[in-house]
Amino acid sequence: MSDSPEIQAAISRLVNWVDRAADGDAAEAVKAVVEGHVELVGSVLAAGFREIQQGTQILLVVPNRLVMIEVTATASEPPVVQLESRSLRDAVVSFQTTGIGMVDGELRTRQRWRFRFVDGYEADIDGCTAGGSPDELEAVARTALEQAGRQPPAQAIRV
């Protein structure tokens, strides 16, 4: 299991989500499965956590791939853990600024990164940069972009 603080934080947040969504015994079982998946994918370059409409996801960037580990759970159904790995080779990446503003004197921007894969599948990652520092999902998107062989857009400059 990776000692990366980003991965540990993402797994911890996922386990907390499962604890709230399903019975308490399920959380530890899901944690073991997710940790096994993380070991399976190898060297992790970036990791992030997000809640999605159907459940929760951990996004991992490994060399040349974007890996999504998704967990769905309800009080009446056992959790389901799904791993999907997509090659970043030949992926089309688009970037859109979805919000710009000043918060406490710092520039804050929200971005949507869209990764279109050769089979037509699309993955969106919404990130945020505040005061020049990316949040964890922004860092995942930028690392995935670099693994796709492209350079991230220039950082915003304070005026």
| Whether residue 114 has pLDDT greater than 90 | yes
What was the pLDDT predicted at 113?
93
Whether residues 81 and 109 fall in one domain: no
- Residue 142: HSE in the Cβ half-sphere, 13 Å Cα cutoff: 15
| pLDDT one-digit tens code per residue, 37-85 | 888 887 889 999 898 887 889 899 999 999 998 988 777 778 888 889 9
pLDDT tens-digit profile of 117-156? 999 999 999 999 988 889 999 999 999 999 988 766 555 4
The model's pLDDT over 12-32, given as tens digits with 9 standing for 90+, comes to: 888 888 877 776 677 778 888
Does one domain contain both 54 and 29?
yes
Handedness of CA 17, 58, 44, 98 (dihedral sign): negative
CA distances from 64 to 26, 32, 50, 88, 112 (A): 32, 25, 21, 5, 20
**Are both 74 and 137 inside the same structural domain?**
no
Q: Give yes or no for residue 1 having a pLDDT over 50.
A: no
Q: Are residues 23 and 65 in the same domain?
A: yes
Q: Angle at the Cα of 81 (from 78 to 86), degrees rounded to 5?
A: 160
| DSSP H or E run through 159 | none
Range of the domain at 58: 5-87
